[in-house]
Amino acid sequence: MKLVIANKAYSSWSLRPWILMKMLDIPFTEDLIPLDTPEFRPRLDAYQAGSTVPVLVDGDVTVWESVAIMDYLAERFPDKAIWPKDQKARAFARTIAHEMHAGFRALRQACPMNVRKVHPAKERGEAVDKDVARITHLWNKALSTYGKPSGQGPFLFGSFTAADAMFAPVVTRLATFSITVDAASQAYCTAVLGSSAFRQWHHDAMAEPWIVGYDEADEPVRGPFVLPH
Ligand SMILES: N[C@@H](CCC(=O)N[C@@H](CS)C(=O)NCC(=O)O)C(=O)O
């Protein structure tokens, strides 16, 4: 299998299937096409997929759109709990994954993903606060109903699922924009950021040579992002 992605520093949508496949030990090669470069469009067009990354290529099957990729993986690897096995948990996991895919625009716009920089805490507006409150509400509901009771891990539904993958870039945004959250949400963020998969993603991002326009933040940067121990 091959996963076509963009810069690990910036590409939040690429991070989603990438971290899911790593966390669930699904082997794949990657083709990284740097954003905002002349090579981006022709290299992506060669896959005859959609106009964005990520794209998954599995033999003669090509899938794009992050949630479609995760659903394909769930069918391709039925033994892996890509979505929770329990029907009620799975329904909630899918619901919050789609809520993430379709929403939280204020947070996404005000706090673009860049896993290489940390910004000081500052007021980011009512709409961002509302998104963060909604996200942490969903996390707490998942963690208290399906996560901790399952005793199978620190993630939203116990073990790492597609729902965690969908929220992984949100976790990075909360950390890099120094947004404080409740203790349970913070513990969850620490588990995602401390995972071996995210460490590898971050390590690769730090080594990337490309810098795109929106990396030049118009606000002071506190320093490089330090992963939790
Ligand atoms: N809805 C898409 C969003 C994908 C997306 O916006 N990807 C960005 C990179 S993070 C991209 O390919 N941007 C290049 C472009 O739009 O030209 C998904 O879920 O996969």
The per-residue pLDDT for range 86-98, each reduced to its tens digit, is: 999 999 999 999 9
Q: What is the pLDDT of residue 153?
A: 81
Pocket of ligand 1 (CB under 6 A): 6, 11-14, 52-54, 65-66, 101
Three-class SS state of 155: strand
Whole-angstrom Cα distance, residue 164 to residue 23? 10
Q: What is the pLDDT of residue 228?
A: 72
Q: What is the pLDDT of residue 125?
A: 95
- Between these two residues, 151 and 190, which has the higher pLDDT value? 190
pLDDT, mean over the chain: 94
CA 40 to centroid of ligand 1, rounded, Å? 12
Atom of ligand 1 nearest to the CA of 64: 20
- Name the closest-CA residue to atom 18, ligand 1: 65
Domains of the chain in start order, with CATH, are 2-76 (3.40.30.10), 87-202 (1.20.1050)
Q: What is the dihedral of CA 128, 132, 138, 144, to 10 degrees?
A: -170
**Which of 3, 8, 13, 19 has the most ligand 1 atoms within 8 A of CB, as the residue to mutate?**
13
CA 50 to centroid of ligand 1, rounded, Å? 9
Whole-angstrom Cα distance, residue 81 to residue 102? 23
Q: What is the pTM of this model?
A: 0.96
Cβ-contact 70, 16 below 8 angstroms = yes
Q: What is the pLDDT of residue 216?
A: 64
Q: What value does the mean pLDDT take over residues 26-52?
A: 96
Three-class SS state of 70: helix
Atom of ligand 1 nearest to the CA of 10: 10
- Name the closest-CA residue to atom 6, ligand 1: 52
CA 88 to centroid of ligand 1, rounded, Å? 30
Q: What value does the mean pLDDT take over residues 109-124?
A: 91
Q: Answer whether residue 211 shows pLDDT above 70.
A: yes
Cis before 112? omega within 30: no
**118: its two tokens:** 């940390």
